[in-house]
Amino acid sequence: MKCDKCGEKAVINMRQHKLALCKDDYLRWVPEQVEKAIQKYKMFSHEDKVLVAVSGGKDSLSLWDILHRLDYQADGMYIGLGIDGGVSYSAESHRLAEAFAERHGLKLLVVDVPETYSASIPELARRTHRGRGKPCSVCGLVKRHIMNQTAHEGGYSVLATGHNLDDEVAVLFSNTLHWEGSYLVRQAPVLEADQAGLSRKVKPLCRMYEREMAAYAMLGGIEYIYDECPFAKGSTSISYKEILNQLEAGHPGAKLSFYLRFLQAKEAGFFSQQADTHFAELHPCPTCGQPTTAPGACSFCRMF
């Protein structure tokens, strides 16, 4: 198969875009696509100070790489979760995030949960009996809190995460299966900082297939952690991703179209009534100041 741009040997065929590319053209094409998404959804400009949440995985490291190539001001933030799982998951992802920062001369902020809060994520989950033996919900809560706080205190106008199309479509699928109106309203490439204490959140990879990001990291020589978090095994989101991959195999482009048409439907006002009630419920937590829907302190402060 030949590259559709230059006629050299193609290294990737993307049936969803009817496009095959060679290595050099692919490594140019991905940042172009990400730049288009940044512009289309008005995520940020070159004047913004962006904080990239870097987990050590292929998506967030590639995102940092791309923003750096596109000349955006992007620092990284790594959150140490204290997860071992036999593969030293946290230690290894921390090492890879540090190595990337050093190699490109970039600034990485690190918040270590066991050091800062005297307990790892699995310990916190055990102590608080949240999540029926799985630490994922506590982990999500803690990560969201730390990301918000670090971005806000560091004067970053934007917080960027490496969520890719497959992540977004799995969430959309779940929210649609359960008709979660208020979640559907809030699922977007950009979440405005319309509450004090909340930073603007963006997902520049939201239109990039997971496979495309894996290929970008591999061809770009980005060293990332292959292992998933050991607690992710058997999760519903993984089984939704498998179902969606089956759909995609028979109908190339199905995932992208599901997501883009959802965004169009939202733009057309499909879920607007839900939005009003949802945002009315937010108020600042009396302890940490971050916005919350809980009565009194936010879930993070209540947990401690």
Q: In this structure, how many other beta carbons lie within 10 angstroms of the beta carbon of residue 175?
A: 18
Instruction: Report what 3 binds from Zn ion, ligand FES, ligand AMP, none; CB cut-off 5-8 Å by kind.
Output: Zn ion
The reply to whether 51 sits near ligand AMP by the rule CB under 6 A is: no
From the list ligand FES, Zn ion, ligand AMP, none, pick the one residue 82 interacts with, judged by a Cβ distance below 5 to 8 Å according to partner type: none
Nearer to ligand FES, 232 or 249 (CB): 232
- The set of residues, in sequence order, having a beta carbon less than 8 Å from that of 133 and lying 6+ positions away, is 125
**Residues 138 to 157: which contact ligand AMP by CB under 6 A?**
143
Exposure string for 48-80, b = 16+ CB within 10 A, e = fewer: bebbbbbbbbbbbbbbbbbbbbeebbbbbbbbb
Is the separation of the CB atoms in 279 and 288 below 8 Å?
Answer: no
Q: Smallest distance, Å, CB 274 to Zn ion?
A: 45
Residues 280 and 263: their CA atoms lie apart, in Å, by 22
For ligand FES, the closer of residues 120 and 187 by Cβ is 120
Rounded (5°) CA angle 153-156-157: 125
Cβ-based nearer residue to ligand AMP, 58 or 285: 58
Q: Which member of 62, 148, 150, 161 binds ligand AMP (CB under 6 A)?
A: 161
The residue (of 28 and 103) whose beta carbon lies closer to Zn ion is: 28
Which ranges constitute the DSSP H helices of the chain? 23-40, 58-69, 89-104, 113-117, 121-128, 136-153, 165-177, 181-186, 210-219, 236-250, 254-267, 272-280, 299-303
In angstroms, give the least distance from the CB of 265 to ligand FES.
Answer: 31
Does residue 229 interact with ligand FES by CB under 6 A? yes
Mask of contacts with ligand AMP, 65-94, x by CB under 6 A?
A: ------------xxx-x-------------
Closest residue to bound ligand AMP by CB: 162
Find the angle CA(81)-CA(87)-CA(88) to the nearest 5 degrees: 40
Place of tokens 């991905």: 30
Residue 123 in contact with residue 115, Cβ under 8 Å? no
Chain position carrying tokens 């759909």: 247
* Residue 162 touches ligand AMP, criterion: CB under 6 A: yes
Say whether residue 275 binds ligand FES (CB under 6 A).
Answer: no
Binding-site partner at residue 6 among Zn ion, ligand FES, ligand AMP, none, CB < 5 to 8 Å by type: Zn ion
* Smallest separation (angstroms) from ligand AMP to the CB of 213: 10
Binding residues (CB under 6 A) for ligand FES: these are: 81, 121, 135-136, 139, 229, 231-232
